Amino acid sequence: MKFGIILGTNELDRVAYAGMHSAIYTALDNEVVIFATMDGVKAFLKNPEIKVESASSKTIKESNEDIYQHFRRAKKSGRLKIFACSYASKIMKLDKDKYSDLVDDIVGITSFAMEVEGGQLISIW
């Protein structure tokens, strides 16, 4: 099965949630496609901009957990793709070299929709 995750925030607990879901779904032999849009693209910069405002985000930060370990584990499976939104990238003046190596490409919402067609969608804002 395919899962699409739309990540529209760079809040630490929500980015961690997307990473955990990616690791779990790919471990179960599913394909996962993440579409980082709006503030979500900031989580995948070479120097990520992560917000820590919620109580759960503060707890995660205090634990010093590397939330990107989940994404890296899922990427190693070969069943995770991470796309940065072309519109968000354009308005924030971000090109491919500003993103970490976790990001596969910069695409529009139509390309993401075609990639996950028939799959389940999760939206994290």
Spatial CB neighbours of 105, under 8 Å, sequence gap ≥ 6: 83, 84, 96
Are 79 and 55 spatial neighbours (Cβ–Cβ below 8 Å)? no
Largest pairwise CA distance in the chain? 39
Convert the pLDDT of each residue in 2-20 to its tens digit: 999 999 999 999 999 999 9
Q: To which CATH superfamily is domain 2-124 assigned?
A: DsrEFH-like (3.40.1260.10)
Q: How does DSSP classify residue 46?
A: S
Convert the pLDDT of each residue in 43-72 to its tens digit: 999 999 999 999 999 999 999 999 999 999
Measured between alpha carbons, how far is 32 from 64 in angstroms, rounded to an integer? 26
